[in-house]
Amino acid sequence: MKLSFALVAVVSVIAAAPAIAATTTSTLNVAATVVDSCTAGGATLNFGQFDPRTGSALTGNQNFTVQCTVGTDYTIALNAGTGDGASLAIRKMTGTNTSELLNYALFVDSGRTVIWGDGTDTTEMVSSDGTGSNQVFTVYGTILGGQTATPVDTYSDAVTITVTY
């Protein structure tokens, strides 16, 4: 009985003793690379109603947005559109019910003196530096005057906005 009492006492002391734990440490490295990135938001430049009887030009303008990561240098080019025979200087809207064309031009400036294109043939592109937020750009348009034989129809074109960064 003395032996069992002694054994219980030894077991109680061992159980009450704190456990000795070992630890080790290491490092979790965390990394990321922020890349140049841009998106462009298109819009519709609607000139409204053009009256070819007057032969007068019709103007309009429209905003669109570009968003690039902070510090990203970029340029914005506009192509000639999809109208048959279009150029950067004279773009062409096509009628929905006819194959007739309506000539127009797009400009960088409100004075409509600098053609917005791809930097070739006396056209200009717009350059900027990304801020991480939407940046607003305005394109200025003119339906060219003197198009008196244009038939009644709804005319449209699709111009591609190209952001190079």
CA 34 to chain centre: 17
Q: Tell me, what's the pLDDT at 83?
A: 96
Cα distance between residue 78 and residue 23, in whole Å: 63
Residue with tokens 């003196």: 113
Cα distance between residue 40 and residue 72, in whole Å: 14
Cα distance between residue 76 and residue 19, in whole Å: 69
Cα distance between residue 141 and residue 33, in whole Å: 40
In the chain, which ranges are continuous DSSP H helix? 2-16
Q: Which of 154, 148, 149 is nearest to 97 (CA)?
A: 154
Q: What DSSP element (H or E) covers 155?
A: strand 155-156
Domain 38-164 has CATH 2.60.40.1090: yes
Tens digits of residue pLDDT in 115-126? 999 999 999 999
Per-residue burial over 3-33, b = 16 or more CB atoms within 10 Å of its CB, e = otherwise = eeeeeeeeeeeeeeeeeeeeeeeeeeeeeee
Domain boundaries, the chain: 38-164
Tens digits of residue pLDDT in 54-67? 889 999 999 999 99
Q: Tell me, what's the pLDDT at 10?
A: 47
Q: Tell me, what's the pLDDT at 6?
A: 47
The neighbour count for residue 61, using CB atoms within 10 Å, is 15
Distances (CA, A) of 98 to 41, 102, 115, 150, 157: 30, 11, 28, 10, 14
* Residues of the chain scoring pLDDT < 70: 1-18
Q: Tell me, what's the pLDDT at 16?
A: 58
